[in-house]
Amino acid sequence: MSKPNDAERRAQTIAALRDFADRVEIDPTIPTPTDVDIRVHLHSTRGTQAQRFAAVFDFAEQHGAPVTENPRGHRKTTKRFGPIDLTVLAFADKQNTAFGVVTRADDPALTAA
DSSP annotation string for 11-44:
HHHHHHHHHHHHHHHH-TTSPPPS-EEEEEEE-T
- Total count of residues recorded for the chain: 113
Specify the pLDDT at position 2: 63
Sheet holding 100-101, edge to edge: 36-42, 84-90, 75-81, 68-69, 100-101
pLDDT digits 0-9 by tens, 81-96? 999 999 999 999 876 5
Which phi and psi (to 5°) does residue 11 adopt?
Answer: -65, -40
Domain boundaries, the chain: 1-32, 33-111
pLDDT digits 0-9 by tens, 50-69? 999 999 999 999 999 999 99
Q: CA-to-CA distance for 62 and 58, rounded, in angstroms?
A: 6
Q: CA-to-CA distance for 32 and 107, rounded, in angstroms?
A: 40
Confidence of residue 5 (pLDDT cuts 50, 70, 90): confident
